[in-house]
Chain A
Amino acid sequence: MNIVVTVKQIPDPNVAPQLDGNRLKRTGVAGVLDPGDEFGVEAGLQIAAAHGGEVTVVSMGPAQAMEAVRKALSMGATKGVLVSDDALQGSDALHTARVLAEAIKNTGFDLIISGVESTDGYTGVVPQMIASILDIPSATFAKSIEINGDTVKINRQTEKGYDEVEVQMPCVITVTAGVNEPRYPSFKGIVEAKKKPVDEPGSPVAGESTSQNVESVNDAPQRGAGEVVEDDGSGAAKIADFLAQAKVI
């Protein structure tokens, strides 16, 4: 089975983000493999181990994103593709999906796994767009994945519980945090990752990289002070009311 996992390098979330104009600064800042993508890589590795096949990681980003690709390779992926092109700077979700879909088409695929959304941009639409461009089905928010022959069955996380969803391969699956526990790379894995093949094509699609323009960036509003509930015996009930109002319970 050809398993493709899309991965992205994001600025280290433990460091305060910096702006480059109206865009997030991505080069020259410490980057990490998006923690959300680690679940995708782990899912791919587990499926490959159980059902045979290999895992190819596909990424779009500046040259520096090679670190994220290598991280995925050190976890055990077989090979990588990094599409890096100055013309792609500032790409919006749709253009990113076009580029990734084209790269995925070139590597061949049976199953494409992505995180639900990136931890920096949070658009959460790229995987579905890839499925649409490749004209294959997608099943999203998987909290578990089961493969039976050509069929992928997922438990799709919902607000109330989960739906069981079945799709035919080839397809795109997005995975939530909690679908598995991503492994830590071993020292040997790190050394071997340097020798694994990574294809570095330029942008395979022409045209405008974005149809969006960020006009301005503003700080998120400060959170107001919380409400303190004095417990005079009715504390639990008051908190339950509050949670019910917030539609949490």
Chain B
Amino acid sequence: MSLSPEHEEFRKVVRAFADREVRPKAAYYDERAEFPTDVILACGEQGFLGLPIPERYGGAGADYLSYLICVEELARVDPSVAITVEAHTSLVCNLLYHFGTEDQKTRWLTPLAAGKKIGAFALTEPGAGSDAGGTQTSAREDGDDYVINGAKMFITNSGTDISLLAIATARMADGQISAFIVPVGTPGFEIGRKLRKIGWHASDTRELAFTDCRVPKHNLLGESGKGFNQFLAQLDDGRIAIAALAVGQAQGCLDECLRYVAERRQFGRPIGSFQAIQFKLADMATKIHHAKLAVYHAGNLRQNGDPFKIEASMTKLFATEMAVDIAREAVQVHGGYGFIEEFPVARFYRDSKVLEIGEGTSEVQRIIIARQLGLDPGLR
């Protein structure tokens, strides 16, 4: 597994961008729990909101690996910005690109991939999380429209100043689950309160409510009734990207530790001269190395069109659990200062936990892996 020189060059570009444009504002937006509209639009101008999407639909015409690199490098300085880009790209742009009609792509994908607007993917409901097939939201046909009723929970990117649409899943009369493009501003589409979270403060997460919300029939995404399975397949894509995000934030933790252990002195010497501290950093570097190999291995499979389901889940599981461990150790290395908000590791620590939950919990990943091993988890 290796990245091409062009990919390594692109990594330098994203890193420079992240250091100059994202890093200086990360603590500011985190502290205010404010969505960093200017930072996200700046990402859009660089093409970072449509990397794997062809240019004819507003994208950067790059590839999936460059997208993973981008998410990783953004997470190294600000996981909130990285998840904004990730949810928009993996869950929204990708779905529109793979399942949208030509009209849908022109109308909805183009402004999203061009980075002028962002999109939200609304699958989770108050009563349907890991069991996404338990969707209660309904979509009823009425003349030329579908009428959507129900509630969604934890929806990223749904209520910002630049949110364009939500792709919402709903159950049809025949019991099958489909997905619909619901533009912001549609009557009956209510964007709820912003949830107060322990991390990812600058990322926008909300409840959504649909009350007799009418969308035209041509807003159905993908084939009627097949939507759900198609989307589940697409979620594998996002899992690799979340793993890339985890690797990036773990690297951010290690960077901070390397800086800190050289400066901080106790017992008359830098704490980085204590073997106990050195070993922590050596362990961090080793785990990051392996998680990163797994990310780009799975990414290469995906890019080459090879099966990657089990790799995506194993990588998401391993990388996110690693990132949580490393964030905890990074705070430990900083001592009391790691518990103080001025130090970036405090933010990384708060930001880390959700990685084991979003886009399939660690338990769900283990279920998927077990299933791929031929075991029957006994679930519907």
Q: Which residues of A contact B17 (CB under 8 A)?
A: 184
* Bound complex: CA A194 to CA B13 (Å): 16
- Cβ–Cβ < 8 Å partners of A184 in chain B: 13, 16-17, 46
Interface residues of B in 8-26 (CB under 8 A from A): 9-10, 13, 16-17
B51 interface hit (Cβ, 8 Å) = yes
Which residues of B (96-141) have their CB < 8 Å from a CB of A? none
Of A49-57, A104-112, A185-193, A239-247, the one contacting chain B is A185-193
- In the bound complex, what is the Cα–Cα distance between A71 and B13 (angstroms)? 10
Of residues 65 through 100 on chain A, the ones whose CB sits less than 8 Å from some CB of chain B are 70-71, 74
Chain B count of residues within 8 A CB distance of the other chain: 15
Q: How far is the CA of A184 from the CA of B55 in the complex (A)?
A: 18
B59-67, B84-92, B204-212, B354-362: which lies at the interface? B59-67
Q: Pick the contact of B62 from A70, A188, A194 — CB < 8 Å?
A: A188
A190 pairs with B9, CB closer than 8 A: yes
Closest to B46 in A: A184
Residues of B within 8 A of A70 (CB): 9
Instruction: Using CB atoms, name the residue of chain B closest to A187.
Output: B62
Asked if A185 contacts B13 (CB within 8 A), the reply is yes
Asked whether, in the complex, the Cβ of A186 is within 8 Å of the Cβ of B62, the reply is yes
8 Å CB contact of A191 from B6, B47, B55: B6
Interfacial chain A residues near B47, Cβ < 8 Å: 186-187
The number of residue pairs between A and B whose CB atoms lie closer than 8 Å in the complex comes to 32
> Nearest Cβ in chain B — how far from A68, in angstroms?
12
Q: Complex formed: what's the CA distance from A74 to B7 in Å?
A: 13
- The dominant DSSP class at the A interface is helix
| B30 CB to nearest A CB, Å | 24
B16-A187 in contact (CB<8A): no
Q: How far is the CB of B378 from chain A (nearest CB, A)?
A: 44
Question: Is the Cβ of B6 less than 8 Å from the Cβ of A190?
Answer: yes
How far is the CB of B259 from the nearest CB of chain A, in Å?
13
Query: Taking the nearest CB of chain A, how far is it from the CB of B222, in angstroms?
Result: 28
A120–chain B nearest beta-carbon distance, Å: 19
In the bound complex, CA of A71 to CA of B16 (Å): 13
* B361 nearest CB across to chain A (Å): 32
Say how far A41's CB is from chain B's closest CB, in angstroms: 14
B85–chain A nearest beta-carbon distance, Å: 14
Nearest CB on A from B71, distance (A): 14
Q: How far is the CB of A200 from chain B (nearest CB, A)?
A: 19
Contact with A along B28-68 (1 / 0, CB 8 A): 00000000000000000011000100010000111100100
Q: How far is the CA of A74 from the CA of B5 in the complex (A)?
A: 13
Whether A190 and B61, one on each chain, are in contact in the complex, defined by CB atoms closer than 8 angstroms, is no
| CB nearest to B66 among chain A residues | A187
CA gap between A177 and B66 in the complex, in Å: 30
Give A187 to B16 CA distance when docked, in angstroms: 14
A74: B residues at CB distance < 8 A? 9
Which chain B residue has the least Cβ–Cβ distance from A183?
A: B46
Chain B CB within 10 Å — which of A70, A74, A184, A185 has the most? A184
Residues of A within 8 A of B62 (CB): 186-188
Q: Please, what's the 1-or-0 string for A31-68, where 1 marks a CB less than 8 Å from any CB in chain B? A: 00000000000000000000000000000000000000
Chain A residues near B55 (CB-CB < 8 A):
188
A-B contact pairs, 26 of them (CB 8 A): A71-B9, A74-B9, A184-B13, A184-B16, A184-B17, A184-B46, A185-B9, A185-B10, A185-B13, A186-B46, A186-B47, A186-B60, A186-B62, A187-B6, A187-B47, A187-B51, A187-B63, A187-B66, A188-B55, A188-B60, A188-B61, A190-B6, A190-B9, A190-B10, A190-B13, A194-B6
Q: Ordered nearest first, which 10 A-B pairs have the shortest CB separation?
A: A187-B62, A187-B66, A187-B10, A190-B9, A190-B6, A184-B13, A191-B6, A184-B17, A186-B47, A185-B13
B interface residues (Cβ-Cβ under 8 A, vs A)? 6, 9-10, 13, 16-17, 46-47, 51, 55, 60-63, 66
